[in-house]
Amino acid sequence: MKDVNGVALAVFIFFFVAVTVMGFLAARWRRAENANNLDEWGLGGRSFGTWITWFLLGGDLYTAYTFVAVPAAIYAAGASGFFAVPYTILVYPLIFLFLPKLWSVSHKHGYVTTSDFVRGRFGSKGLSLAVAVTGILATMPYIALQLVGIQAVLDVMGVGGGENTNWFIKDLPLLIAFGVLAAYTYSSGLRAPALIAFVKDALIYIVIVVAIIYIPIKLGGFDDIFAKAGHWFSEPNPKTGAPRGALASGEKAQWAYGTLAIGSALALFMYPHSITATLSSRSREVIRRNTTILPLYSLMLGLLALLGFMAIAAGVKVDNNQLAIPQLFEDMFPDWFAGVAFAAIGIGALVPAAIMSIAAANLFTRNIYKDFIRPNATPEQETKVSKLVSLLVKVGALIFVLGMDKTVAINFQLLGGVWILQTFPALVGGLFTRWFHRWALLGGWAVGMIYGTWKAWDTPAATQKHFGNVANIPGIGEIGYIGFTAFVLNVAVVVVLTFVLRALKAPDGIDETSPADYQADSGDPGDPGVKADLPPATAGAPGGH
């Protein structure tokens, strides 16, 4: 077992305590008179302007995935892990097209979740339930990834426990960190991560700038770094006999690279937590403006990814690839700055984990609890249920941590992507057209979910028989991202079934939105403001399906 790095641990704890205090105080920040409704707890009162939204979305989208999983993938295999960069490049032009529409219609009708919109648009409770369940399910492995990130930092600091300690002592620091997170999420709602996001981003940017200048100087420049990395990747892997990786994507890997990038890009804004951060913004313009300034984070992601090569060049040897970057920091930086870097990674994982659990909780409350269990719930009850579910979702995430191979953490996020992508046709399709039939959307979703889950289960990952991320694309003979293949299949089924159902004149649900709603902005003449509560679903959709 390794020794505890006292200085680094002290700095880490200092920052951790500081953000915890901030988290609890956040409840008082920009407080509204009535904090006991979901708009307040779950959307921060829908009051955030361009800069807070920028920090919140940045804090939300750039997670342990960025700081730990992506550099670890590069460390393990080289070029193939860099798909995260084109992924985050493609996200912004994509959301520029549909997110303002979603904001407008949600503003007009008081929608809090994507399922709210789907129900209102298609008049189908069944479809809205499918979207809600998928959202909650897909969020869990993503939260699990955050846990893995925190664990990596704790391990390198020497407080993660060794192989021989029992699981409880081993995971105790992690459980404490998560307990604290759960407590302030419970009490402050979305305001807590929004406030902490400032600290997180400041720390992260400082660490990156220092790392990207200081480490290459110590290692003799990028020439040396890539020469060493190239040499390392060309050597055969002792287990498989094939080269370990490559510095540029080979012919055979290009389909996988492209489909992973586009699949992840399409998936990102289907996640409940991305939508939560979006809907908490004050106006439609805030979102469009953000699509032009958010790419700054993508640059950061690219630079962080390069740290994977630096870890190779620095001769970092770890059993678990996820430890590569924290270990690099510990080897390269003075102890106190390593502590700052660890705090950056740790807090960088806590912020999104908080937002994710809030978003999943909103989904449960609005679209399962209120639609199916207790239609007459008061706003106070709704908020209370949301708070409790935000705790339960975190427990669900723990199950994924225990059940999946932690050495390839990027697969957690990609598995979530396989599922969440299947809600794309209903959500984005619904924003642009009402042509799709609700039952066809449900059929396509089911096919995509079943194919994706089955394929992911059937595909081996590095050290485990299940939950791989790429597989043969049927009919094309290339290797591609399972989520994207399932998505294409889903769309095909939706189109075919819509033709069939329209020909059969199957009953269409009632659409409570009107075309003007998709263009509405706050402050428009006649803008009613956001309604505090949504009328019961049954009003627009008798007997909803």
Partner 1 sequence: MSGTSGTQGRRPVVTPSRVVAGLCLIAPFVGMLWVGSYAKIEPTLIGIPFFYWYQMLWVPVSALLTTVAYILVRREKRALRATEPAQKGGAAE
Amino acid at 116: D
CB of 282 to partner 1, least distance (A): 16
Say how far apart CA 370 and CA 375 lie, in whole Å.
5
Facing residues of 259 across strands? none
Say how far apart CA 98 and CA 492 lie, in whole Å.
21
Closest CA to 315 of 192, 419, 195, 232: 232
What is the CB neighbour count within 10 angstroms for residue 51?
13
CB of 210 to partner 1, least distance (A): 18
CA 436 to chain centre: 27
Of residues 190 and 261, the one with the C-beta less far from partner 1: 261
Of residues 129 and 262, the one with the C-beta less far from partner 1: 262
Of residues 183 and 212, the one with the C-beta less far from partner 1: 212
CB of 216 to partner 1, least distance (A): 8
C-beta of residue 60 within 8 angstroms of C-beta of residue 352: yes
Of residues 405 and 512, the one with the C-beta less far from partner 1: 512
Decide: helix, strand or coil at residue 502: helix
Of residues 458 and 527, the one with the C-beta less far from partner 1: 527
CB of 260 to partner 1, least distance (A): 10
CA 178 to chain centre: 17
Say how far apart CA 543 and CA 263 lie, in whole Å.
35
Of residues 93 and 179, the one with the C-beta less far from partner 1: 93
Of residues 57 and 350, the one with the C-beta less far from partner 1: 57
C-alpha count within 13 angstroms, C-beta hemisphere, residue 52: 22
Of residues 262 and 358, the one with the C-beta less far from partner 1: 262
CB of 365 to partner 1, least distance (A): 31
Applying CB under 8 A, the residues found at the interface with partner 1 are 79, 82, 85-86, 88-90, 92-93, 96-97, 221-226, 230, 247-251, 254-255, 257-258, 261-262, 285, 288-289, 291-293, 295-296, 298-299, 302-303, 306, 514-516, 519, 524-526
Widest CA span of the chain, in angstroms? 71
Amino acid at 337: F
Facing residues of 243 across strands? 236
Of residues 243 and 258, the one with the C-beta less far from partner 1: 258
Of residues 139 and 291, the one with the C-beta less far from partner 1: 291
Within 57-157, strands assigned E span none
CB of 412 to partner 1, least distance (A): 24
**What's the 3-state SS for 473-487?**
CCCCCCEEEHHHHHH
CA 247 to chain centre: 27
CB of 222 to partner 1, least distance (A): 3
CB of 488 to partner 1, least distance (A): 14
C-beta of residue 192 within 8 angstroms of C-beta of residue 185: yes
C-beta of residue 146 within 8 angstroms of C-beta of residue 409: no
Say how far apart CA 451 and CA 457 lie, in whole Å.
10
Question: What residues contact residue 6 under an 8 Å CB cut-off, 6+ apart?
Answer: 335
Of residues 25 and 85, the one with the C-beta less far from partner 1: 85
Q: Two tokens at 321?
A: 């690839």
CB of 262 to partner 1, least distance (A): 6
Rg (CA), the chain: 23
CB of 515 to partner 1, least distance (A): 5
Decide: helix, strand or coil at residue 63: coil
CB of 3 to partner 1, least distance (A): 35
Q: Two tokens at 125?
A: 């409770």
CB of 100 to partner 1, least distance (A): 9
Of residues 23 and 417, the one with the C-beta less far from partner 1: 417
Of residues 179 and 250, the one with the C-beta less far from partner 1: 250
CB of 545 to partner 1, least distance (A): 26
**Main-chain phi, psi angles of 481, to 5 degrees:** -65, 125
Question: What residues contact residue 511 under an 8 Å CB cut-off, 6+ apart?
Answer: 120, 121, 122, 123, 434
Say how far apart CA 147 and CA 362 lie, in whole Å.
21
**Main-chain phi, psi angles of 400, to 5 degrees:** -65, -35
